[in-house]
Amino acid sequence: MGASTEGGWTYSRSGVDRGAVAGSLARLLAQVHGSSVPSHGRPVHLPGHYAGLIRIGRETIAITTDTIGTKGLLAEEVGAWEGVGEDIVAVNVNDLASVGARPSALVDTISVAKPSPEVFEQIGRGLDRGLRTAGITLLGGETAVVPELVHGYDLGGTAIGFFPRGRRPVTGSGIRPGDIVLGVPSSGVHANGLTLVRRLLREHRIDLAAPRPGGPGPVGLELLNPTRIYSPVSEAVADRPEVQGFAHISGGGVRNLARLSGRVAFVLDHWPVVPSLFRWIQELGAVASNEMFQTFNMGIGFAIVSRPRRLSETLRRLARAGAADALVIGHVERGRGVRLPDHDLAYPAY
Amino acid sequence: MGASTEGGWTYSRSGVDRGAVAGSLARLLAQVHGSSVPSHGRPVHLPGHYAGLIRIGRETIAITTDTIGTKGLLAEEVGAWEGVGEDIVAVNVNDLASVGARPSALVDTISVAKPSPEVFEQIGRGLDRGLRTAGITLLGGETAVVPELVHGYDLGGTAIGFFPRGRRPVTGSGIRPGDIVLGVPSSGVHANGLTLVRRLLREHRIDLAAPRPGGPGPVGLELLNPTRIYSPVSEAVADRPEVQGFAHISGGGVRNLARLSGRVAFVLDHWPVVPSLFRWIQELGAVASNEMFQTFNMGIGFAIVSRPRRLSETLRRLARAGAADALVIGHVERGRGVRLPDHDLAYPAY
């Protein structure tokens, strides 16, 4: 057990120091003044910054880039790659879904120490399934064989999307007290918190091929279950005037809601029972709830902020789009940040 | 010396096996049938595949993704990062330039073992310079701290562009015997062949802080000179009816020309004197010329295939766009592949 008993694991102690990332990134961005030439398209400022937007001709194009992080290392340990192929699509189109953009195409990036045809085939199978679910096409990609630079597989991609005629980006700017927060369940840990999870698996010598207590199958495969794709969810309600904001509950957990508006408080007082997978992880590392909810999705992978009116119509549309499991998880109040009263948690900001 | 004397170094022996990459990638792509829903945009088939194209509304959007490969490892050895920041922009917008797309925006991806604020600041400075040269904006990015996955810095990005009203993608489909090939010089090795170069530097214990014989400055910095950005070159002539094709002479070297058309031969009988940096690399590793020209740009980073008429007007436009150094390097004949008669080289296909 060792270090893990001294107050429990945090994501920072597992090797990911959010403060260091933010500090370094700030230094980079301070240098980038860019050069936005009007004839090259006009950037659209978007406070939530899940995706970047640029106006080209009459279209507004949304772009987002993301990797699956260390989930590929787990795929390597388990020897199952199809799920992470699907994750490449999911982590990107879910960020497009968060601004209400209809996804259009993906390019993938594979940095690899040594390419294996079998692994590539499995990744391709997962990619294809993700592309079909999102209704998009693979427009290209880059495969870099860089054994000195990476271990195993560093998998990522970039997705672009657009706003169908008449639809405006869903930014959260209209969110106000009295709105409700709907949640759409996740399909597992998705692609977040894996560095911490893998530390715990190693430390406790967990057999990836065996189920955890009460688990549905080998825990390795359970953790590799691909990220749920929320594009159909977003598409189903993005044009509704009631809908004010979307949040992809990815890295940063529920704090992502605070990215939508800094002028209100999101009170998540109907959070559903946390799936047993997360409770098992929490116990394994004696991880504080505060840390769990800002590292993992804790059962809800996508949130929708809406006026309370016409809720049954919204739920009907979500059900038709494959999200019959959507539910009300909270509401918006005066204040700031994100609160989970049942868990005694309060995050003052993103 | 050891292995390097047995017939000379090849890119494959330095750790990059092109055949293995192609084989693995083919397995991946065989699985990807995708799902192109008309309402999500219509992919445009482009044989040269430097960039993917998709039609969204009235716009055709071009997208390309690339990394700088192992050039980041050299930046780490030298301790100079500004150039590779600029490379992130260059490697992507140059691929857009190859289809005649006007670049619009970039997202960057940094996978890093441990972020350093000083390094990020230098990368930011280079990024900014690249963005300004290309006239584009940074629309977002992803910074992944993944110490178990990467050594140092894995740097890449994705760029999008479009075709101004009236311009069609420059595909090479109209190339025919009698056309001429113009070349625009490179600014050094750009971001290709670095795995081989670094092997040779190590093997010969080259002091990166000292100039090579006849070199302009420390060889480390000479090799890190940022990739020339060819977007202004492409923009200057992409609307000319004489211009039939562009080639970015990146990984694959002059063979990239064969991607433009499989129905003609590109005869590069006026290749300029190969810059001394490449001749030094070649001697260091006893690298065959055949290998040099398919691994490095050998002094020409971008090629333009054009009808021979109105050449002086084309050269005037290129000069106004900062490419007064463009020159005729060959012509198109009946046949297939790429030939360099002065170097006794013939590549039958890409």
Task: Look up the ipTM and state it.
Answer: 0.90
Other beta carbons within 10 angstroms of residue A342's beta carbon come to 10
Distance CA B24, CA B27 (A): 5
Task: State the total domains in chain B.
Answer: 2
List chain B residues with CB under 8 Å of A63. Answer: 105, 107, 139-140, 158, 160
Q: B82-97 and B117-134 helices cross at what angle (nearest 10)?
A: 30
Q: Is A164 exposed, middle or buried (0-12, 13-18, 19+ CB in 10 A)?
A: middle
Indicate if the pLDDT at residue B26 is higher than 90: no
Q: Which amino acid is at A36?
A: S
A121, A198: one domain: no
Query: What proportion of chain A, given as a percentage, has pLDDT over 70?
Result: 95
Closest CA to B119 of B69, B68, B78: B78
pLDDT for B1 = 32
Nearest to B32 among A124, A145, A152 (CB): A124
pLDDT for A1 = 32
Q: What is the dihedral of CA A89, A202, A279, A342, to 10 degrees?
A: -90
B135, B227: one domain: no
Q: Is A334 exposed, middle or buried (0-12, 13-18, 19+ CB in 10 A)?
A: exposed
pLDDT for B9 = 78
Of A162, A190, A217, the domain-final residue: A162
Q: Do A148 and B70 touch (CB under 8 A)?
A: yes
Indicate if the pLDDT at residue B6 is higher than 70: no
A332, A207: one domain: yes
In B, residues 293-312, which contact A (CB 8 Å cutoff)? none
Q: Do B195 and A58 touch (CB under 8 A)?
A: no
Q: Do B70 and A146 touch (CB under 8 A)?
A: yes
Kindly state whether residue B249 falls inside one of the protein's structural domains: yes
Q: Do A165 and B61 touch (CB under 8 A)?
A: no
* Angle at the Cα of A172 from the Cα atoms of A167 and A174, rounded to 5 degrees: 85
Residue B39 near residue A162 (C-beta atoms within 8 A): no
pLDDT tens readout for residues B84-106: 999 999 999 999 999 999 999 99
Q: What are φ and ψ of residue B303, in 5° steps?
A: -125, 145
Instruction: Compute the mean pLDDT over every residue in chain B, rounded to the nearest whole number.
Output: 93
Indicate if the pLDDT at residue A4 is higher than 50: no
Among the residue ranges B27-31, B54-58, B296-300, the one predicted with the least confidence is B27-31
Nearest to A149 among B65, B105, B151 (CB): B151
Q: Which residue of A has its CA nearest to B76?
A: A149
A146, A188: one domain: no
Which CATH number belongs to the domain containing residue A119 in this structure? 3.30.1330.10
Q: How close, in Å, is residue B270 to chain A by CA atoms?
A: 32
Q: Does B63 touch chain A (CB under 8 A)?
A: yes
Question: Can you name the residues that pair with A114 across neighbouring β-strands?
Answer: none
DSSP helix/strand/coil, B143: strand
In B, residues 175-214, which contact A (CB 8 Å cutoff)? 195, 198
The mean pLDDT of A103-132, rounded to a whole number, is 95
Q: Do A150 and B148 touch (CB under 8 A)?
A: no
Q: Is B89 exposed, middle or buried (0-12, 13-18, 19+ CB in 10 A)?
A: buried
When mean pLDDT is compared over A9-13, A318-322, B15-19, B346-350, the highest value belongs to A318-322
pLDDT tens readout for residues B268-321: 999 999 999 999 999 999 999 999 999 999 999 999 999 999 999 999 999 999
Residue A134 near residue A231 (C-beta atoms within 8 A): yes
Q: Do B146 and A69 touch (CB under 8 A)?
A: yes
DSSP string, A151-199: SSEEEEEEEEEE--TT-----STT--TT-EEEEEE-SSSTTSSHHHHHH
pLDDT tens readout for residues A35-75: 777 788 888 877 656 799 999 999 999 999 999 999 999 99
pLDDT for B37 = 79
Indicate if the pLDDT at residue A20 is higher than 90: no
Distance CA B103, CA A191 (A): 31
Q: A121, A158, A197, A234: which to substitute to probe chain B, counting the most B Cβ within 10 Å? A: A158
Q: Do A20 and B115 touch (CB under 8 A)?
A: yes
Q: Do A28 and B111 touch (CB under 8 A)?
A: no
Distance CA B137, CA B124 (A): 13
Kindly state whether residue A328 falls inside one of the protein's structural domains: yes
B138, B188: one domain: no
Q: What is the pLDDT confidence band of residue A257, given thresholds at 50, 70 and 90? A: very high
B196, B156: one domain: no
Q: Which residues contact B25 (CB under 8 A, 6 or more apart)?
A: A115, A120, A143
Other beta carbons within 10 angstroms of residue A239's beta carbon come to 15
List chain A residues with CB under 8 Å of B115. Answer: 20-21, 23-25
Element (DSSP H or E) covering residue A285: helix A276-285
Kind of pairing, strands B180-185 and B59-67? unpaired
Indicate if the pLDDT at residue B150 is higher than 90: yes
Query: What proportion of chain A, given as a percentage, has pLDDT over 90?
Result: 82
Task: Show the beta-strand stretches assigned E in chain A.
Answer: 42-44, 52-56, 59-67, 102-112, 137-145, 153-162, 180-185, 243-248, 264-267, 300-306, 327-334, 337-340, 345-347
Q: How close, in Å, is residue B17 to chain A by CA atoms?
A: 8
Kindly state whether residue A333 falls inside one of the protein's structural domains: yes
CB pairs under 8 A between A and B: 317
In A, residues 256-275, which contact B (CB 8 Å cutoff)? none
The mean pLDDT of A81-98, rounded to a whole number, is 97
Question: Can you name the residues that pair with B248 across neighbouring β-strands?
Answer: B302
Question: Can you name the residues that pair with B158 across neighbouring β-strands?
Answer: B65, B107
A278, A236: one domain: yes
Distance CA A185, CA B76 (A): 43
Q: Count Cβ neighbours within 10 Å for each residue of A18-47 and write b for 16 or more, e otherwise.
A: eeebeebbebbbebbebbbbeebbebbebe
Q: What is the pLDDT confidence band of residue A297, given thresholds at 50, 70 and 90? A: very high
A53, A128: one domain: yes
In A, residues 82-111, which contact B (CB 8 Å cutoff)? 102-105, 107-109, 111
Other beta carbons within 10 angstroms of residue B208's beta carbon come to 17
Kindly state whether residue B24 falls inside one of the protein's structural domains: no
DSSP helix/strand/coil, B248: strand
pLDDT tens readout for residues A195-230: 999 999 999 999 999 999 999 999 999 999 999 999
Q: Which amino acid is at B40?
A: H
Q: Do A40 and B70 touch (CB under 8 A)?
A: no
Does this model's pTM top 0.90? My answer is: yes
Distance CA A235, CA A168 (A): 12
B189, B158: one domain: no
Closest CA to A228 of A141, A155, A322, A158: A322
pLDDT for B194 = 95
Residue B337 near residue B265 (C-beta atoms within 8 A): yes
The mean pLDDT of B23-35, rounded to a whole number, is 84
Residue B236 near residue B164 (C-beta atoms within 8 A): no
B132, B213: one domain: no
Other beta carbons within 10 angstroms of residue B276's beta carbon come to 14
Q: Do A109 and B109 touch (CB under 8 A)?
A: yes
pLDDT tens readout for residues A225-246: 999 999 999 999 999 999 999 9
List chain B residues with CB under 8 Å of A131. Answer: 32, 34-35
pLDDT for B13 = 73
A335, A225: one domain: yes
Between A58 and B22, the higher pLDDT residue: A58
Q: Do A40 and B135 touch (CB under 8 A)?
A: yes
Residue A226 near residue A83 (C-beta atoms within 8 A): yes
Q: What is the pLDDT confidence band of residue B265, given thresholds at 50, 70 and 90? A: very high
pLDDT for A119 = 95
Kindly state whether residue A30 falls inside one of the protein's structural domains: no
Q: What is the pLDDT confidence band of residue A3, given thresholds at 50, 70 and 90? A: very low
Kindly state whether residue A215 falls inside one of the protein's structural domains: yes
Nearest to A56 among B30, B162, B198 (CB): B162
Both tokens assigned to A103: 């996804």
Among the residue ranges A23-37, A276-290, B111-125, B303-317, the one predicted with the least confidence is A23-37
Q: Does A123 touch chain B (CB under 8 A)?
A: yes
Q: Which amino acid is at A267?
A: V
The mean pLDDT of A5-17, rounded to a whole number, is 67
- What domain range includes position A148? 38-162
Write down the number of H helices and E strands in chain B: 10, 13
Distance CA A143, CA B17 (A): 12
pLDDT for A59 = 94
Q: Do B124 and A43 touch (CB under 8 A)?
A: no
Q: Is A57 exposed, middle or buried (0-12, 13-18, 19+ CB in 10 A)?
A: middle
Question: Can you name the residues that pair with A251 across neighbouring β-strands?
Answer: none
B108, B50: one domain: yes
Which CATH number belongs to the domain containing residue A229 in this structure? 3.90.650.10
The mean pLDDT of A142-149, rounded to a whole number, is 90
Both tokens assigned to B202: 């190590």
Q: Do A137 and B54 touch (CB under 8 A)?
A: yes
Q: What are φ and ψ of residue A234, in 5° steps?
A: -65, -45
Both tokens assigned to B199: 């092997």
Q: How close, in Å, is residue A250 to chain B by CA atoms?
A: 13
DSSP helix/strand/coil, B73: helix
Kindly state whether residue A9 falls inside one of the protein's structural domains: no
Both tokens assigned to A242: 């009631």
Kindly state whether residue B315 falls inside one of the protein's structural domains: yes
Q: Is B39 exposed, middle or buried (0-12, 13-18, 19+ CB in 10 A)?
A: exposed
Q: Which amino acid is at B9?
A: W
Nearest to B67 among A116, A134, A142 (CB): A142
The mean pLDDT of A75-101, rounded to a whole number, is 97
Other beta carbons within 10 angstroms of residue A178's beta carbon come to 12
Distance CA B333, CA B324 (A): 26
Nearest to A162 among B41, B151, B154 (CB): B41
pLDDT for B101 = 97
